[in-house]
Structure 1
Amino acid sequence: MLIEEELLLSYGAEIEDFKPSYIIFEENSTPKYYYQIIKGRIKLNHYNDEGKELILAILGKGLSVCELLLFIDEKYPVNAIAFEETTVLKLPKSDFVRLLDENQQTSRDINKFLSERLYQKYIMLENNASLRPDVRIKGALNYQKSFSDDGSKFSFEVPLTRQQIASITALRVETVIRTIKKLEKEDFLKIINRKIYI
């Protein structure tokens, strides 16, 4: 949990429920709220000029959604869409800023979280520039695992389908399937009931 629920509620956060595929905010809209996931998952995506979906992240319980944009005067570069039945805490931007001003440790925790995300994003972007599918896929899977507290091997169930991994890495689905089988043979990941574990 990035920020304690009680603290968010004490600053006026409201609980909202979203149905699957509900658009929480759209690309080019103005950030007005801090969102933190209580349950469910939220997909951050973008559509390229040909209308092809690029999934940038799938966020789960305890994580915040594009909070970094509350510190700058920019529009959202992505869409946030409920991936499944999802419940969030929603706090207006001005109250979020006040919460951070009045709670030094929480402010430091947010800074650390943002730094970790930025670091992992750099690594993923570097990997996505590779011509090798295995390097791209490892980068995408490691980025997803970076949101988990448990870093031990095969402890993290990747919350993505092969199609979604293809969308994240800009690879063909067939290439993803073939490369995942290769990575399993190399002991980088495990497949259990069609689910990928790293």
Structure 2
Amino acid sequence: MIPTAILETYHPILKTFSKDEIIFNEAEIPRYYYQLKSGKVKMFNLTEDGKEFTQGFFEKNTSFGEPPLFGSFAYPASAMCIEDCELYVLDKKVFINLLKAHPDIHLKFTKQLCNRMLYKAKIMKELSIHPPEHRILTLLHHLKDSANAEGLFEVKLTRQQISDLTGLRVETVIRAVKQLEKTEKLILKQRKVYI
């Protein structure tokens, strides 16, 4: 994410999007850098039969959709607001110039992209060979590691969001979470998950 003070010197447009509004669609050519000032966004794919697979969730003070800007390829997923959002929108050329002028920010993006690639690799492995409990634990540990959290970590995802990110049915997630609590691999407090 680009610090707001630096981003604003490049004159981004501050756009408002409503809940359920599409920001960009899969296969579109990227033209802008997007950074959330407020709200929450999900990136997802739809299968031919209309089933949705969520690639990730992005919240206030984060950015999304950068790999196609760097790689000059079409968006591999769609992005939609799941709450009303305010987004800083910066033209691709201006974004690239900002990164050239601020190599420290460029390096942070490189690290962030590597972390996202690691997450994708973990999830692909989980989806192909592991049972539900293992998939869920891998996701939760990745979230905790990404947050650099020590001690007990509150998972700020709903059961539906865990389902969307792991390709499992919500009912399966609920059963698996209860099983993981029984085996003391996670903690449930007031319907919240901790790891």
The answer for the alignment partner of 1:102 in structure 2 is 101
The answer for the alignment partner of 2:150 in structure 1 is 152
User: Cα gap change, 1:16/1:146 in structure 2, threshold over 3 Å: closer, same or farther?
Assistant: farther
The answer for the alignment partner of 1:23 in structure 2 is 22
Cα distance in structure 2, aligned partners of 1:80 and 1:144: 20
Q: Which amino acid aligns with 2:131?
A: R
SS in 2 for 1:68: helix
- Contact 2:123/2:166, CA 8 A, preserved across alignment: no
What percentage of residue pairs aligned between the two structures are identical?
Answer: 33
Cα distance in structure 1, aligned partners of 2:152 and 2:135: 19
Q: Which amino acid aligns with 1:157?
A: V
For 1:71-150, what aligned pairs fall within 5 Å after superposition?
A: 71-148=70-147, 150=148
TM-score norm. by structure 2 comes to: 0.91
SS in 2 for 1:11: coil
CA apart distance, 1:59? 1.0
- Contact 1:145/1:151, CA 8 A, preserved across alignment: yes
SS in 2 for 1:46: strand
The answer for the alignment partner of 2:161 in structure 1 is 164
- Contact 1:154/1:189, CA 8 A, preserved across alignment: no
> After TM superposition, which residue ranges in structure 1, 4 or more long, deviate above 6 angstroms?
none
Cα distance in structure 1, aligned partners of 2:126 and 2:151: 20
For 1:47-86, what aligned pairs fall within 5 Å after superposition?
A: 47-86=46-85
Q: Which amino acid aligns with 1:165?
A: I
The answer for the alignment partner of 1:6 in structure 2 is 5
CA apart distance, 1:142? 3.1
CA apart distance, 1:188? 2.8
SS in 2 for 1:174: helix
Flag structure 2 segments of 5+ consecutive residues without an equivalent: none
Deviates more, 1:150-159 or 1:133-142: 150-159
SS in 2 for 1:43: strand
User: Cα gap change, 1:131/1:147 in structure 2, threshold over 3 Å: closer, same or farther?
Assistant: closer
Of 167, 172, 175, 1:175 maps to 172
How many residues align structurally?
A: 195
Cα distance in structure 1, aligned partners of 2:143 and 2:57: 8
User: Cα gap change, 1:143/1:21 in structure 2, threshold over 3 Å: closer, same or farther?
Assistant: farther
Cα distance in structure 2, aligned partners of 1:90 and 1:195: 34
Q: Which amino acid aligns with 2:24?
A: F
1:91-123 CA-partner distances (Å, limit 9, x unpaired)? 110000000111111111111111122122212
- Contact 1:36/1:62, CA 8 A, preserved across alignment: yes
SS in 1 for 2:63: coil
Cα distance in structure 2, aligned partners of 1:29 and 1:153: 42
TM-score norm. by structure 1 comes to: 0.90
- Contact 2:144/2:153, CA 8 A, preserved across alignment: no
- Contact 2:154/2:192, CA 8 A, preserved across alignment: no
> RMSD between aligned alpha carbons?
1.7
